[in-house]
């Protein structure tokens, strides 16, 4: 945070840095509550249409294995919605939106790779580790 404040000193952005880092700390607390054990890296992203995202956040979730692979991306889209909202609705309060795109193919394949890498045990099917891999139809 100190490095960012030193870099941004004298700009309009400098006064917002403590609030940004406070939000990041809250996010990290949530991730700890959910039991996330992976390393979390926070890097700024940009967009070709930065006016839509000014004052908001863009993010990517990257699987960092043998090769880096983006499996989710999203952000807060308040400015984008405001830009494309019908002008007749300008008297209404500003709309807020957050969204993301999750690649179900990549998520599914990573789950499958995880299953294949596990050594089979006698009670693997009954364990909660692989509950999402059970078949939907039981054999008669």
Q: Which residues sit opposite 72 in a β-bridge?
A: 61, 102
- The tally of CA atoms less than 13 A away on the side-chain side of residue 24 is 15
Question: In this structure, are 65 and 53 located in the same domain?
Answer: yes
> How many structural domains does the chain have?
2
Question: What DSSP assignment string belongs to 7-74?
Answer: HHTTSTTGGGHHHHHHHHHHHHHHHHHTT--S---------TTGGGTTTS-EEEEEEESSSEEEEEEE
Question: In this structure, are 48 and 80 located in the same domain?
Answer: yes
Close Cβ partners of 28 (under 8 Å, ≥ 6 residues apart): 40
pTM recorded for the entire structure:
0.53
Q: Which domain holds residue 58?
A: 43-119
What's the pLDDT at 129? 55
Match 């983006």 to its residue by tokens: 70
- In tens digits, what is the pLDDT along the chain, a chain of 140 residues? 788 788 888 887 788 888 888 888 898 898 889 888 878 777 777 777 777 776 677 788 887 777 778 878 888 878 777 778 777 755 667 777 888 888 888 778 878 887 888 756 555 455 555 555 555 666 65
Question: In this structure, are 114 and 67 located in the same domain?
Answer: yes
């Amino acid at each position: 945070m100190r490095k960012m404040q030193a870099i941004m000193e004298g700009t309009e952005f400098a006064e917002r840095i403590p609030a940004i880092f406070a939000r990041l700390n809250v996010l990290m607390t949530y991730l700890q509550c959910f039991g996330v054990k992976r390393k979390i890296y926070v890097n700024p992203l940009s967009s070709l249409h930065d006016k839509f995202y000014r004052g908001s956040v863009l993010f990517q979730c990257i699987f960092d294995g043998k090769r880096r692979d983006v499996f989710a991306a999203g952000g807060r889209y308040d400015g984008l919605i405001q830009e494309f909202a019908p002008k007749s609705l300008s008297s209404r309060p500003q709309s807020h939106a957050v969204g993301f795109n999750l690649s179900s193919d990549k998520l599914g394949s990573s789950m499958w790779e995880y299953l294949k890498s596990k050594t089979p045990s006698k009670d693997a099917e009954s364990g909660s580790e692989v509950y999402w891999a059970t078949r939907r139809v039981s054999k008669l």
